[in-house]
A and B are shown apart, each in its own frame.
Chain A
Amino acid sequence: MIKAILIFNNHGKPRLSKFYEHYSEDTEQQIIRETFHLVSKRDENVCNFLEGGMLIGGSDYRLIYRHYATLYFVFCVDSSESELGILDLIQVFVETLDKCFENVCELDLIFHVDKVHNILAEMVMGGMVLETNMNEIITQVDSQNKMEKSEQSP
């Protein structure tokens, strides 16, 4: 299971937070801060796995993250997920964003967090991986966007 998916920038500003378990708003912010603190102090060429978040998880959970330019993509998962699999999934996520936004950059995420949520919803549902095939994800996202447009025009 995936417990949370967080995206924040190099300064710890949240760009997307998706918790698959309920926390209060304050706790969520604390978790984001703590995760940022843990992730940001790590060098570039160390491993992408991290243990020891106090707030989220526990011994069975670990943070799996990737750092792209100005953004950190962090998944908090338990031991039922394959570590390398999740790393691949993050890659798929980012590539999908790149396709949907055409050369995605931090600004896209800042202004269109709702769209990012919609894309994510096609990949991960309720903490479980729904789809890993990028083309399938994009097809579904596109046809939903088309539907949205058709509703707005008349």
Chain B
Amino acid sequence: MALKIVKGSIDRMFDKNLQDLVRGIRNHKEDEAKYISTCIDEIKQELKQDNIAVKANAVCKLTYLQMLGYDVSWAAFNIVEVMSSSKFTYKRIGYLAASQCFHESTDVIMLTTNQIRKDLSSPNQYDTGVALTGLSCFVTPDLARDLANDIMTLMSHTKPYIRKKAVLIMYKVFLKYPESLRPAFPRLKEKLEDPDPGVQSAAVNVICELARRNPKNYLSLAPLFFKLMTSSTNNWVLIKIIKLFGALTPLEPRLGKKLIEPLTNLIHSTSAMSLLYECVNTVIAGHDVNGSPFLPPFSLALFLFLRFQLCVQKLRILIEDSDQNLKYLGLLAMSKILKTHPKSVQSHKDLILQCLDDKDESIRLRALDLLYGMVSKKNLMEIVKKLMLHVDKAEGTTYRDELLTKIIDICSQSNYQYITNFEWYISILVELTRLEGTRHGHLIASQMLDVAIRVKAIRVFAVAQMATLLDNAHLMTGNVQRKGICEVLYAAAWICGEFSEHLENPMQTLEAMLRPKVATLPGHIQAVYVQNAAKLFATLLKNQEGNTDRTAAQETSQLMIDRLPLFVQSANLEVQERASCILQLVKYIQKLQQKDVEVAEEVIALFAGELNPVAPKAQKKVPVPEGLDLDAWINEPPSESESEDEQPKAIFAKEEPKHSRARHTEVDEKELAKRREARKQEQANNPFYIKASPSSQKVYQEAPGVEHIPVVQIDLSVPLKVPGLPMSDQYVKLEEERRQKERVEKKKKEKKKRKEKRGGRGKKHDSGPESEEDITPAHMVDIVTEEMPEDKKSSKHKKKKQKREKEEKEKKKKKKHHHHHHHSDGGGEESVQNGTVEEEEPLPVSVCHQSFTEIDIQGNLQDGSQVVVSVIFENKCDNFLKTMEFNVLDSLNSKLQRPEGSGPHDGLSVPFQLPPETRSSGTLRLSVFVIVFPQNEDSSTHEKLDFKLHFTCSSYLITTPCYSDAFAKLLESGDLKCSSVRLEGVNMPFHHLLARICFHHHFSVVERIDSCASMYSRSIQGHHVCLLVKTSGQTVSIDAKCDEPTLLGNVLDEIKQTFSQC
């Protein structure tokens, strides 16, 4: 044995340590990989030895190799071995290695639970610290569940070093095991006021992260944070709190008002730029006077506005600063204002345009974001011209792609509101197709399609441009790098085919579409090519048959027959199918042509009819069939209390993607409308589809089509035929001239009514400055969304109103429900707790004006005698409740938990104020000593608002999963008393029945076989409750076992009642 140890230490002397390994790698620059692989072999040998020091050294080296990109997961077990060493030195190496390479699917993690638990409770604070740090990197749901309790205990450790780590890691635990949030939260809240600033900072950090996911659940902490904000001097904590307030103020407008003063003080006093910036940011977030339901007095609003302006001015100073970081952040904050106050940003247009020329890409990108709100009819062309220059100069593809999407974004925003000349826009789009390697080909394509379909006047021009594109398709397909852009050809082919009557030289385009090179394009584009070649062919036939010379028509057919077989052989099914179909058609046509039959009319009929855009709200025009109630539930609605039970989950509600652009949703709507249209079309044509009533069909047909939309005739002062590819620049000049001309004309016609001229588009102009109205667009977009009859809109509002009324009714109902309990509580079968709420202000608030809804009673796992009750206070009167006091009369069996130092009958003051018609929630804690007996306590009724809390025995039960073998053991143990109950006339599916028991009485299903199930639950004081539920027909029998017969009896009674109610 001794020899072994000596041998081990001698071996160690020859082993490489980490420094040797690094040095070795640096000395083997040419054959690094080979050197490392020999090192790994050595490490494998070292890991096989018994000496823990050798192993730790090996693991340390592996950690380094992991950083270089080597997979070291094979050594996971050895890492666990090193972690469990008793020496801190090795333990730390082990935990570091684990934190670098363990993750959820590392299976040895299972083995670490006990080791970590041991380390967490180690007397050495650094053992605990190292374990917490490691755990924070690789915590899994299982570890979180098993260790949550241990970590929670550490939150009250005597050493602040451990406390702060334990507090911080709780966030990770919450993420992996959300159920732990509820029991841990009170302690976490406590830590906000920890004497150690580090612990405090950690608690703030965790709550801020939680609140970021679901801010409204943390509104009640606002007063506490407010206090912290005014007392803390730690900038880091202050920043976090201020950021948190930034998230809370949109939810609680009054908070914004309250914050103004301390924030202004901070803005003036702090020397830290980071803090100043966050203050400004939060003031901006809080400034939403218009959106606030509580309009502050005018003077206050003015004050707020001035304060806001001050912040915007401060931002301008930031942007003008020579420090690039401040410039960047200034722009970032501006983009936040842009969403709510575009006008405030617009006044800094000069500055933002200047930033577009900054040498720093980050700053240019931020400035680009702001451009969206800068454009107007007047300057759109100018701004886009500038952007196009940047596109030419841009070196990196990411920035260029960003430019491209921005150009399209700002041009297409709100139905091309700012575009006055669509020829210019088409030529911009065509110019963009010349970009190398962009990923946004489909974006350009969809714009082309959209414009060509919706702006009728532009079709002639668009078709000419698209034909040129098709002709030069080789420019786009030649290079592999340009793959993204060939999507444009999809649009080009479709436009040329669909609007082929406008083609100058259709034969040439047809030829271009049938080139062999086309076969190298992606399948879906080829398919469009083939289909549109057929459309083109139809148009050509029509043109050529008009001539006396028939040979031209026959030549065209021959061309199709010669070229199509290439596509028939395509590997893409869609292409193949379309090509062979069309090939057969053309062959047939050729036969007819040889017999001198005129076919053009019939061929063209194949493609007759125009595709029209459909309004997103078109569905509304279809009347609802008789007997179909859209508001009725198809399935039984989930009960109200269910959603409350899900509250802990809501804390982790996924944030909605903030960055979804309006444009995307628009496309979605269009897409939806298209599908809807298609479906309706299909239904109309389907003889088997039962139509609701003849009138509904009629209404549908009468819906105004595109024809009915007033389209301004294009003023042909611009020559439509542009030789070659268009240059967008020329349009800027032309547009200037056009406007000039218009202005002159306008002066002449000034007396004429403006309204008539602009038709229904008056609405759109609201946002632009006065002078903008003078610019009329050269082309009109068919804005289908605008064509909804007015009454439709109003009906929508009506519905909302009705809904609101309904909700209110429901609320009232709920209240009644409570009163009902109020009277029936003497029965004694339920545990009832009575109490009062005192309002000090305003004077007389009658009881019915304030509702008081108990939402949740939850046992506390940590403390078997504690019950947390969440209560919603709702103020139904018009007055502001300034202070409220909440009191529960203690009984023998239950006691309200009051802060230390207060007397046994003092009330709890409610930590928030209640403005009219708002609700808020608070929690109170009660200590319950014996839970098996219902308590019956009468309260002396004050003239204040009385309330009663119902504590059923079921609310003392906690859903606890139980495995079937453990369950069987429990039943065999013989400690349990038996009882049973029969329910008659229960008319619901078995799984519903089980779900009901699980939900209302907090049971979990252990096993289920056909119509028989075993269920389990545990009370907060550890009583086991087992149920065996059997059903036959409408009879349900429940055999139950519990170690406390009284509890069992009450639970069974409650179950019985649950089912008697339904």
Contact = CB atoms under 8 A, between A and B. Distances in A.
B168 A125 contact: yes
Nearest to B102: A22
B69 A28 contact: yes
A88 interface: yes
A147 B88 contact: yes
B171 A128 contact: yes
A148 B198 CA distance: 25
A47 B92 contact: no
Nearest to B92: A118
B82 to A, nearest CB: 13
B466 to A, nearest CB: 33
B172 A126 contact: yes
| A1, A51, A84 pick with most chain B CB within 10 angstroms | A84
Contacts of B67: 14, 16-17, 113
Interface string B857-886: 000000000000000000000000000000
B243 A130 contact: no
Interface in B202-246: 202, 205-206, 208-209, 212, 234-236, 239-240, 243
B223 to A, nearest CB: 22
Query: How many A residues touch the partner, as a band?
Result: 35 or more
A51 B202 contact: no
A131 interface: yes
B236 A129 contact: yes
B329 A83 contact: yes
A111 B96 contact: no
Interface string B155-175: 000000100110011011000
A49 B359 CA distance: 14
Contacts of A42: 360-361
A111 B202 CA distance: 32
Interface stretch (A69-77, A96-104, A132-140): A132-140
A151 B88 contact: yes
A16 B161 CA distance: 25
Contact of A129 (B103, B133, B205): B205
B19 A111 contact: yes
A35 B1053 CA distance: 65
Contacts of A113: 18, 63-64, 67
B419 interface: no
| B67, B87, B240, B658 pick with most chain A CB within 10 angstroms | B67
Contacts of A16: 67
Contacts of B324: 45-48
| A43, A112, A127, A143 pick with most chain B CB within 10 angstroms | A127
Interface residues of B, number: 73
Contacts of A24: 71
B782 interface: no
B71 A25 contact: yes
B321 to A, nearest CB: 11
A10 interface: no
A28 to B, nearest CB: 7
Interface string A76-120: 000010111101100000000000000000000011111001100
B362 interface: yes
A151 B212 CA distance: 44
B398 interface: yes
Given A25-B71, A130-B168, A148-B89, A125 B325 contact: no
A20 B329 contact: no
A87 B164 CA distance: 23
B274 interface: yes
A123 to B, nearest CB: 11
A24 to B, nearest CB: 8
Contact of B137 (A84, A111, A126, A152): A126
Contacts of A132: 201, 234, 236
B171 A83 contact: no
A86 to B, nearest CB: 9
B69 A128 contact: no
Contacts of A127: 136
B122 to A, nearest CB: 12
B87 A117 contact: no
Nearest to B23: A111
Contact of A82 (B19, B132, B164, B239): B239
A42 to B, nearest CB: 8
Given A1-B209, A125-B133, A148-B88, A25 B70 contact: yes
Contacts of A45: 324
Nearest to B202: A130
B547 to A, nearest CB: 57
A82 B205 CA distance: 12
Contacts, number: 156
A82 B104 CA distance: 29
Given A14-B67, A110-B22, A84 B273 contact: yes
B381 interface: no
B1011 interface: no
Contacts of B60: 114
A47 B239 contact: no
Contact of A125 (B66, B136, B236): B136
B278 A151 contact: no
B95 to A, nearest CB: 9
A7 to B, nearest CB: 10
Contacts of A25: 66, 69-71
A51 B364 CA distance: 11
Contacts of B129: 140
Nearest to B395: A41
Nearest to B237: A132
A111 B18 contact: yes
A85 B172 contact: no
A118 B137 CA distance: 14
A151 B192 CA distance: 37
A139 B23 CA distance: 30
B277 A84 contact: yes
B503 interface: no
B1047 interface: no
Interface string B129-141: 1101100110100
Contacts of A26: 69
A82 B277 contact: yes
| A14, A42, A51, A80 pick with most chain B CB within 10 angstroms | A80
A50 B126 contact: no
A25 to B, nearest CB: 5
B68 interface: yes
Given A28-B69, A117-B96, A126-B169, A80 B362 contact: no
A40 to B, nearest CB: 13
A82 B278 contact: yes
A47 B133 contact: no
Nearest to B69: A29
B398 A52 contact: yes
A73 B69 CA distance: 19
A152 B210 CA distance: 43
B1003 interface: no
Contacts of A151: 87-89
A26 B272 CA distance: 40
A125 to B, nearest CB: 5
Contact of B329 (A84, A111, A152): A84
A76 to B, nearest CB: 14
Nearest to A48: B325
B168 A126 contact: yes
A111 B22 contact: yes
Contacts of B88: 144, 147-148, 151
25 contacts: A17-B67, A24-B71, A25-B70, A26-B69, A29-B69, A42-B361, A46-B360, A48-B325, A82-B278, A83-B325, A83-B328, A83-B329, A84-B272, A84-B273, A84-B277, A111-B19, A111-B23, A113-B64, A114-B60, A114-B93, A117-B63, A118-B92, A125-B165, A129-B236, A151-B89
Given A49-B329, A111-B23, A117-B63, 11 more contacts: A46-B361, A51-B362, A111-B19, A112-B19, A121-B96, A125-B132, A126-B137, A130-B165, A132-B236, A147-B88, A151-B88
Nearest 5 pairs of A and B residues by beta carbon: A126-B136, A84-B274, A47-B324, A22-B103, A46-B360
